[in-house]
Amino acid sequence: MNAMSERIQKVLARAGYGSRREIERWIEQGEIKVNGKVASLGDQISLDDRVLIRGKPVSIKQSERSRPRVIAYHKPVGEVVSRSDPEGRPTVFEHLPRIQAGRWIAIGRLDLNTSGLLLFTNDGELANRLMHPSHEVERTYAVRVKGEVTPDILRRLETGVELDDGPAAFERIEDSGGTGLNHWYHVTLKEGRNREVRRLWESQGLMVSRLMRIAYGSITLSRNLREGRWMELPPFEIGRLYQSVGLSYKPPSSKREEPRRRRPPHTRRR
């Protein structure tokens, strides 16, 4: 290998073909070949190597030249965070813009009945770091709760309760107002376990009647971004995301490469 070679999962993740975890799983399943041979974990590749993912050639050189992009999407209730759904339900990927090289990678997930901010990027390494628990990236949700929420309940939710998959707690809970069945709270977590927000409230005998993610790391859900629409993040916001997880970011050098910020948020395709 030449001096420019790197671990295969790192190169393919950075090029936007998947997160490191996805790529490692494909390698273990024998679905990636390099120069005609089935790849193994730990293999190194260069930009000149011929790579097939599930039988399809990928252009690493072209992907490496693509500028890093991040878009914010306002997910409605009823869409699944999957590229395809066996039940025929709409997926978030159906409404994203086309990308020349690599593919859009979802940064985290939202379940079917949760709406709000969902970030996508063409940089798998950025996605991997923003999702990894070791980086403790904050996720903030607006929650409408049914039932009486007492000070003792709030204290337990902040100090920690035992769930099926281990202890969990909110970093912060803020009362957002409302009365009766329309009482809202803003809660913040530093991890993204499956249905964790709902399960925390349910552990106290309460039910979440509505759940919306309003922030992920330094990015907040814009009030101008309506459900089912997406908008591209400007370089300074992308740079903050990279910096927050210890990655370097080179902003676009030419005006042609800069995101078109004057256009209104994009609507879903019909």
Q: Supply the residues annotated as catalytic.
A: 111
Residue 153: how many other CB atoms lie within 10 Å: 19
Q: What does DSSP assign to residue 91?
A: B
Report the SS3 class of residue 102: coil
Report the SS3 class of residue 22: helix
CA distance 200 to 188: 12
Q: Which of 114, 62, 85 is nearest to 227 (CA)?
A: 114
**Contact by Cβ (8 Å): 76, 90:** no
Residue-wise DSSP of 152-182? HHHHHHHH-EEETTEEE--SEEEEEE--GGG
Residues near 104 by Cβ (< 8 Å), separated by ≥ 6?
16, 71, 93, 96, 120, 121, 122
Beta strands 207-216 and 115-121, pairing class: parallel
How far, in Å, are 58, 80, 235, 256 from residue 83 at the CA level?
A: 18, 9, 27, 30
CA distance 250 to 208: 41
